[in-house]
Amino acid sequence: MIINFKAYSEAEGARALEIAKLCEQISEENGVKISVCPPMVELSAVAKAVKIPVLSQNVDPHAPGSSTGWVTPSMVRSAGAVGTLINHTEHKVSIDTIEECLELSKGCELVTVVCADTVQAAVKIAHHCPDFIAVEPPDLIGGDISVTSANPQIVESTVESVKSVNGAVSVLCGAGVKTGMDVKTALDLGADGVLLASGVIKAKDQRATLQDLVKYL
Ligand code: G3P
């Protein structure tokens, strides 16, 4: 399970650390793998504070050197993160940029989670061998209906199509995932895990929400 903090105000500054530590507690108490994607500016602080995997929300296709304002895979690795999202639907890039980011990220031994908004996009990305592909229909992101209920077919089709291209790629799904039943359904549909954000970050009781999310795992 990957919790994307996005740019939510609820996850700014010290609150990013608090949420990451809560995710670590729930992960340890339940023996469930939870990874976190804090805001870029909190990456190093969060990576130093928790033992669970910390991922960057994005990387740019740049190697170390004379460039300004970019976030290189090398920086992300040096900050203590172990992986990165690439091509999130809220930060989309071209397939060429995806390929460049994958190559540079692999060179820094970062785990790569490439997001796809359709089955077709997922298949194209699978040829470039990311570690994970996360399929998320943009229209369901941030909503109250889970992709596993609103569009289970996209999850099943993405799993089947990606595995037919490259069996080594693990498939996640996301968008509207809010409950333990959503997570269970995702796994029943063949996904290896879920990617979610608002269900946790904007929850009134983040602990109770996390406890519910892992209860069928
Ligand atoms: O990165 C996961 C995100 O796009 C899903 O958002 O709020 O629907 O869980 P949300």
What values do phi and psi take at 97, rounded to 5?
A: -70, -40
**Residue from 48, 49, 1 nearest 27 by CA:** 1
pTM for the predicted model, two decimal places: 0.98
Q: Kindly list the domain boundaries of the chain, sorted by start residue.
A: 2-213
**Residue from 100, 94, 52 nearest 72 by CA:** 100
Which atom of ligand 1 is the closest one to the Cα of 89? 4
d(CA 42, CA 29): 25
Query: With contact defined as beta carbons under 8 Å apart, do 174 and 137 qualify?
Result: no
Ligand 1 mean position, distance from CA 4 (Å) = 7
Ligand 1 mean position, distance from CA 66 (Å) = 34
The SS3 call for residue 194 is strand
Burial class from Cβ neighbours inside 10 Å (0-12, 13-18, 19+) for residue 192 reads: middle
Residue-by-residue DSSP string for 170-193: EEEEESS--SHHHHHHHHHTT-SE
Q: What is the pLDDT along the chain (217 residues), one digit of tens a residue?
A: 999 999 999 999 999 999 999 999 999 999 999 999 999 999 999 999 999 999 999 999 999 999 999 999 999 999 999 999 999 999 999 999 999 999 999 999 999 999 999 999 999 999 999 999 999 999 999 999 999 999 999 999 999 999 999 999 999 999 999 999 999 999 999 999 999 999 999 999 999 999 999 999 9
- Gyration radius (Cα) of the chain, Å: 16
Cβ–ligand 1 contact at 172 (below 6 Å): no
Annotated catalytic residues are 88, 136
Cβ–ligand 1 contact at 175 (below 6 Å): yes
- Adjacent-strand bridge partners of 144: none
In the block, residue with structure tokens 């692999």: 106
CB burial of 149-175 (b: ≥16 within 10 Å; e: otherwise) equals ebbbebbbbbbebbeeeeeebbbbbbb
Cβ–ligand 1 contact at 57 (below 6 Å): no
Cβ–ligand 1 contact at 199 (below 6 Å): yes
- Count each helix (H run) and each strand (E run) in the chain, helices first: 10, 8
Ligand 1 mean position, distance from CA 200 (Å) = 10
Q: Which CATH number fits domain 2-213: 3.20.20.70, 3.40.190.10, 1.10.10.10, 3.30.1540.10?
A: 3.20.20.70
**Residue from 181, 139, 188, 138 nearest 159 by CA:** 188
